[in-house]
Amino acid sequence: MTRLKALSPDHASGKTKEMFNAINSKFGVIPNMMRTMGNSSAFLEGYLNLNSALSGGTLGVKISALIALVVAETNACNYCLSAHTYLGANLAKLDVETMEAARLGGAKDARVNAILKFAQTLVTKRGHVNDADVTAVKAAGVTEGEVGEIVGHVALNILTNYFNNTANTEIDFPVVESHEVAVV
């Protein structure tokens, strides 16, 4: 059962209504996460702005989707696992094997593997990475700007993981469950 209610687009007003209309125009639907975030127009706007800014970065949609999967798995967020598995397959055109490997923090490509390991390390160390962690990702050909983008993507996904785990958002994508049971 949800802990925070998703706002009906019919009952939205003001800035939230404007954002709901923009989301619906872009995707043809307003996912439950965004409907629930819509209870605070400031929160929804902050999420949308950071998401939009990062989508214009150099990492690209595929790596962004893979980072989202490793972060969601590490945080045991079933809503985000479900959403990003669906989006990874349908928008980023990622195959099941690639997405499963990403959930576990790995990839066949050495550069992508280093990015995912670094993202996973950021989550597990709660941002307290060390020199060796940063040196390893840079040695794989990741630029300093891209390291910053990885941190941004991890932060964005932690935000949505924590929000959805708090709200217990009703999953409106084909359900994917974490390999790990979240601490309750």
Find the mean pLDDT for residues 89-96.
Answer: 97
Could you read off the pLDDT of 28-39 as tens digits, one per residue? 999 999 999 999
Enumerate residues 6+ apart whose C-beta is below 8 A from 90.
none
| pLDDT > 90? residue 58 | yes
pLDDT at position 180 is 77
Find the mean pLDDT for residues 159-179.
Answer: 97
Token look-up 């690639």 returns 98
| pLDDT > 70? residue 183 | no
| pLDDT > 90? residue 66 | yes
pLDDT at position 181 is 59
| pLDDT > 80? residue 73 | yes
Residue predicted with more confidence, 8 or 183: 8
Find the mean pLDDT for residues 70-97.
Answer: 97
pLDDT at position 141 is 98
**CB-CB contact of 150 with 115 (8 Å):** yes
Find the mean pLDDT for residues 8-24.
Answer: 97
Indicate the fold that domain 60-167 takes in CATH.
AhpD-like (1.20.1290)
| pLDDT > 60? residue 182 | no
Share of the chain above pLDDT 90, in %: 97
Find the mean pLDDT for residues 78-85.
Answer: 98
Domain boundaries, the chain: 14-55, 60-167
pLDDT at position 67 is 98
Question: Average model confidence (pLDDT) for the chain?
Answer: 96
Q: Which of 70, 64, 46, 71 is nearest to 146 (CA)?
A: 64
